[in-house]
């Protein structure tokens, strides 16, 4: 077979219409061989060709006879010296880090480990068996796709409502999705799925990992799978498990069609991405890709003994973001998903791990510097999960401008407040208004806070108000996994109950939590299934359940129709009221120079709250009055004004007679929009004569039209 020198860039396997260029970075390798396979069933390569050139530590070659559809892998030569971080083993077939399609998945076998499994010397031993029959294979692809007039909706952050979902879990049981499309990208693009998302009113879907991943060896031995997918092996390849046609060349095409369909419906696509670690694990993990290509370059190793990995992810290893070629890998991957796959943004799993320049988290790390100056990535939605498992890893509020964050403090505060914990109203007020204590100091806006009550990691909303304790026995880890402190309650029972009084309290608490989420400043995120009362039967770490425990049970939609309509109503209210979608923090100062403030905080007596009232441990009730004039302008310069809004909160266990506001721009009466204790109440007025009967554990929302300013 002819091979020419080729080019060192771009990295990966790239078809140019006449042949394929292969380029692989390894700064410490002594030789790199390209291995070609005839089929996924092949036990060994049909050809093994040494890449002829090395330029700036990139090994490369051009093959004029090769075409898209070619299966391939690499063998990389160099020293095997684990104590010094070197783990080259040419007996192990390696996956291209830039693989855009996976032609064959991993088959677990002891030969995919670089050392002798079971040896008393563990990873210091050397395994000489050939892993080719079991290793994953990459596939050369043709990337052409007709996008037509596809355009990103580019929904402004302050108007964004995120819906977190798992592609399979969302569609597997959904009525109206054709059987052959269930659990797939095409299923998510089906009319039934789109109709639900549009009916609910969300503006963006945040997809749990769709990059190709492998199930951990330990899960494989226990007969389980990594359903969530936070164990990435290939950062460019969409997972074939979500393709309706189980062929790697079709997966990318189907993913693109899904994005195009969602865009046509005004829905953005955000990917949950895992660049903090890879599927190769710690020193006892397999040699599948980066470990065998150049372990010391790609991974963070401990300084005193390079045999071991620095682990800020809790998954065995951490990518070496200090190395320019690793940064390039991540940036190339991100740009690929934006430019070639048209996604609208990313949520970065354990993002603090990406910011560790040396050991401490550095919010001005190279990764963020590069993102900010990148003409492609600086324009998409960037969401950080602002923590990792290392020392000092909890970094909520410390990410730079241009980033939003999963606000874990919002989640915990709102759970504690509505559970009835004392001393929480001060922080609750701060979280309701966009968490200025976390974001204002760096020049960020309220929408830097992605607010959530629940997400994939933890209880569902139904379970949050139904269980005091986690119940993860089905995971096979003796209930040791998953968070122990969930700020949850069963309100008199543990799990499902037929007690009508307990169930009434639980349903009201669900309305309170969802209502608070959608009435808060910032960006609300809803976890899929919460809008219909999905349960995981108390499991708060369902990562290994690719079954009915995790799949959304759409039969609940009919049973919980009133609850679904309540959530829809809240979303409609949010979209219609500018006061709930402010682009700037409340100032507590006069509006347009008038003697009316943008926000008032009220006691149940109707007076403005001040001083020590915020710190009283016994206080569970307060009000928030927001001016409808948000002092902002639309794209063509028109003033944005909506209704004045009053929200009353009572997390206590006794009813409160809430007095009409003495402070603030109150009209003669206010109309009720929402009362979580009276979900079907209509045409209820709140006036200065009669105090409002605010039930225990309830939230009420009122509105009234502000006076129209005179135009001179």
Catalytic residues: 349, 385
Query: What is the DSSP secondary structure assignment for residue 418, as one 8-state letter?
Result: H
Query: What is the DSSP secondary structure assignment for residue 473, as one 8-state letter?
Result: G
Cα separation, 214 vs 232, in Å, equals 7
User: Residue 670's beta-bridge partner residues?
Assistant: 686
Number of H helices, E strands in the chain: 15, 31
209: number of Cβ within 10 Å: 21
Query: What is the DSSP secondary structure assignment for residue 711, as one 8-state letter?
Result: P
Query: What is the DSSP secondary structure assignment for residue 609, as one 8-state letter?
Result: P
Query: What is the DSSP secondary structure assignment for residue 180, as one 8-state letter?
Result: G
DSSP H helices in 450-597 = 461-464, 500-518, 556-559, 561-576
380: number of Cβ within 10 Å: 20
Give all strands of the β-sheet with 621-626 in edge-to-edge order. Answer: 599-602, 621-626, 644-650, 698-704, 669-675, 685-687
Query: What is the DSSP secondary structure assignment for residue 65, as one 8-state letter?
Result: T
Cα separation, 197 vs 53, in Å, equals 51
Strand pairing category for 12-15 and 137-139? unpaired
SS3 per residue for 647-692: EEEECCCCCEEECCCCCCCCCCEEEEEEECCCCCCCCCEEECCCCE
Cis peptide leading into 18, omega within 30 of 0?
Answer: no
Cα separation, 318 vs 376, in Å, equals 26
673: number of Cβ within 10 Å: 21
| Element containing residue 296 per DSSP (H, E) | helix 290-298
Cα separation, 651 vs 419, in Å, equals 7
């Amino acid at each position: 077979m002819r091979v020419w020198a080729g080019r060192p860039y771009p990295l990966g396997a790239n078809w140019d219409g006449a042949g394929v260029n292969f380029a692989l970075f390894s700064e410490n390798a002594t030789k790199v061989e390209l291995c070609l396979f005839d089929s996924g069933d092949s036990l060994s390569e049909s050809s093994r060709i040494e890449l002829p050139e090395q330029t700036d530590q990139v090994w490369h070659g051009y093959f004029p006879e090769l075409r898209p559809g070619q299966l391939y892998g690499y063998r990389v030569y160099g020293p095997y010296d684990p104590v010094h971080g070197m783990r080259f083993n040419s007996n192990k077939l390696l996956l291209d880090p830039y693989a855009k399609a996976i032609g064959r998945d991993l088959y677990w076998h002891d030969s995919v480990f670089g050392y002798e499994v079971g040896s008393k010397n563990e990873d210091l031993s050397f395994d000489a068996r050939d892993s080719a029959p079991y290793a994953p294979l990459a596939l050369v692809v043709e990337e052409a796709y007709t996008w037509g007039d596809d355009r990103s909706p580019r929904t402004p952050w302050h108007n964004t409502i995120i819906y977190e979902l798992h592609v399979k879990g969302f569609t597997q049981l959904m009525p109206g999705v054709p059987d052959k499309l269930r659990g797939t990208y095409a299923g998510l693009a089906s009319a039934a799925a789109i109709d639900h998302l549009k009916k609910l009113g969300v503006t963006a879907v945040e997809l749990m990992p769709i990059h190709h991943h492998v199930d951990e060896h330990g899960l494989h031995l226990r007969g389980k799978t990594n359903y969530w997918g936070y164990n990435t092996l290939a950062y460019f390849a969409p997972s074939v498990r979500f393709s309706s046609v189980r062929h790697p060349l079709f997966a990318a095409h189907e993913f693109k069609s899904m994005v195009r369909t969602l865009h046509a419906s005004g829905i953005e696509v955000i990917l949950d991405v895992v660049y903090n670690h890879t599927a190769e694990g710690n020193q006892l993990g397999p040699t599948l890709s980066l470990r065998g290509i150049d372990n010391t370059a790609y991974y963070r190793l401990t300084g005193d003994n390079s045999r071991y990995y620095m682990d800020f992810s809790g998954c065995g290893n951490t990518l070496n973001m200090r190395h320019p070629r690793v940064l390039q890998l991540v940036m190339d991957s991100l740009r690929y998903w934006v430019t070639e796959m048209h996604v609208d943004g990313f949520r970065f799993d354990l993002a603090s791990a990406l910011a560790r320049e040396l050991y401490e988290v550095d919010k001005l790390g190279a990764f963020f510097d590069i993102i900010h100056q990148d003409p492609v990535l600086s324009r998409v939605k960037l969401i950080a999960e602002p923590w990792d498992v290392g020392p000092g890893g909890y970094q909520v509020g410390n990410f730079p401008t241009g980033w939003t964050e999963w606000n874990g403090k919002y989640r915990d505060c709102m759970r504690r407040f509505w559970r009835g914990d004392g001393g929480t109203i001060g922080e609750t007020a701060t979280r309701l208004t966009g968490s200025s204590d976390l974001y204002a100091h760096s020049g960020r806006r309220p929408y830097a806070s992605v607010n959530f009550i629940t997400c994939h990691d933890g209880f569902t909303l139904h379970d949050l108000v139904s269980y005091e304790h986690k119940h993860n026995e089905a995971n096979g880890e003796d209930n040791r996994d998953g968070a122990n402190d969930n700020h949850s309650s069963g309100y008199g029972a543990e799990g499902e109950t037929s007690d009508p009084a307990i169930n009434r309290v639980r349903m009201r608490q669900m309305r309170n939590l969802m209502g608070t989420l959608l009435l808060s400043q910032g960006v609300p995120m809803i976890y899929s299934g919460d809008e219909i009362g999905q349960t995981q039967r108390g499991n708060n770490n369902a990562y290994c359940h690719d079954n009915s425990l995790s799949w959304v049970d759409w039969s609940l939609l009919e049973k919980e129709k009133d609850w679904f309509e309540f959530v829809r109503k809240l979303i409609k209210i949010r979209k219609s009221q500018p006061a709930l979608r402010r682009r700037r923090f409340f100032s507590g100062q006069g509006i347009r120079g008038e003697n009316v403030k943008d926000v008032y905080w009220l006691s149940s007596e109707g007076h403005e709250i001040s001083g020590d009232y915020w710190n009283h441990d016994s206080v569970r009730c307060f009000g928030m009055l927001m001016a409808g004039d948000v002092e902002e302008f639309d794209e063509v310069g028109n003033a944005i004004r909506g209704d004045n809004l009053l929200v009353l909160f009572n997390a206590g266990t006794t009813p409160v007679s809430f007095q009409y506001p003495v402070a603030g721009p109150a009209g003669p009466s206010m109309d009720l929009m929402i009362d979580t204790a009276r979900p079907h109440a209509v045409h209820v007025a709140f006036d200065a004569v009669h105090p409002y009967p605010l039930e225990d554990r309830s939230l009420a929302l009122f509105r009234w039209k502000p006076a129209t300013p005179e135009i001179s």
